[in-house]
Amino acid sequence: MEQRENPRFPVHVEVRYTVLGDAPQTCTGYACDVSERGLRLVTETDLQPGVFLRIELDDSTLFAEVKYCAPWMDIHVAGVYVEEVLLGVSELSKLVMATMSQVTKVTPAARAVNPRS
């Protein structure tokens, strides 16, 4: 029996993400299993726990920390904790906002872009 605090919602959305740090690296992957506090990121890159990511999907940007990353077949599956969300106005952004807004911070800049939030 799963004992997660928040339910997961199955999605499969291509994202572009940047590993933040001294030598930023931009890659692509897929966001899966979104919850109020995070998501599962499927990628070809082995991400180290503790690194921070800027994840771009559609017209939204998420800032997140890698909590774990495990190899699976010829890919890697990472669990990331979302620290901050900057939302646009697309339908996908509205879905992300509905899923994550109760726990994560939505910045004033994002509200200016999407005043209905």
Write down the pLDDT at residue 96.
66
**Which of 113, 115, 116 minimizes the C-alpha distance to 58?**
113
Write down the pLDDT at residue 69.
97
Three-state DSSP class for residue 97: helix
Which domain, by its residues, includes 74? Answer: 9-113
- Domain presence at residue 1: no
- Domain presence at residue 76: yes
**Which of 103, 50, 45 minimizes the C-alpha distance to 80?**
50
pLDDT for residue 115 is more than 60 = no
pLDDT in tens, 1-27: 455 677 888 889 999 999 999 889 999
Q: Where are the alpha helices (DSSP H) in the chain?
A: 91-100, 108-113
28: domain CATH number is 2.40.10.220
- Domain presence at residue 2: no
How many domains does the chain divide into? 1
> Per mean pLDDT, which range of 6-10, 51-55, 102-106 is the poorest?
102-106
What band does 103 get if pLDDT is binned at 50, 70 and 90? very low
Report pTM.
0.72
- Report the distance separating Cα 45 and Cα 3, nearest Å: 28
- Domain presence at residue 3: no
- Domain presence at residue 4: no
Write down the pLDDT at residue 102.
47
- Domain presence at residue 66: yes
